[in-house]
Amino acid sequence: MNRENLQRMADYIRTIPQAMFSMRSYRFADETTKECGSIGCVIGHCTVLDTNPLPTKPNGSINFNKWSDCFTETNTEQWLWCFGASWCSSDNTPDGAADRIEWLLKNGLPDDWEEQLMGKFPLCYKGGEQ
C-alpha cells in the first residue's frame, strides 16, 4: 500500500464538508481541474491530490477504479475497508473515512472489517473492539 498517498487522502478528506460527502455517491470529475464540484466519496474528492494525468475510459470520463488502484496500491480488502460504498449505512462521514485510513496505516486491516463495514460490529476506530 502507498502509505504516503493514503495519509494525504486522510488529511484531505477531513477538509471536505459533510454536505459535500457521501460514500454512496460517485462524482463526475472535471479532467482539467480534477476538482469535485458535487457530492462525492473519498476517491472522487482525492483525485485532486494527484499531479499525474488521470486515467480515462474510452468515453473520456475518469477511470476512478484504475486511478485508486494506482494511487493507493491497496489490495481489495484494504480498499473496501477504506473506500467501500457500504460505509454509507454505518459511517458516512469524512472523519470516519479518514479514521479508517489511519487505522489501516497504524494497525492494519481489522479481522472483523467486513462486520464493521456492514454495521454488525462496533467500529474499532471509534473506540470499539477490534
What per-residue confidence (pLDDT) applies to 38? Answer: 56
Across the chain, mean pLDDT equals: 88
Q: What is the mean pLDDT of residues 93-119?
A: 96
User: Distances in Å between the alpha carbon of 2 and those of 7, 104, 115, 119, 120?
Assistant: 9, 11, 25, 27, 29
pLDDT in tens, 26-36: 655 555 656 65
pLDDT in tens, 55-93: 888 987 788 889 999 999 999 999 999 999 899 889 999
Query: Domain residue spans in the chain?
Result: 3-126
Whether pTM > 0.85 for this model: the answer is: yes
What angle in degrees, to the nearest 10, is found between the helix axes of 64-72 and 76-83? 110
What per-residue confidence (pLDDT) applies to 28? Answer: 55
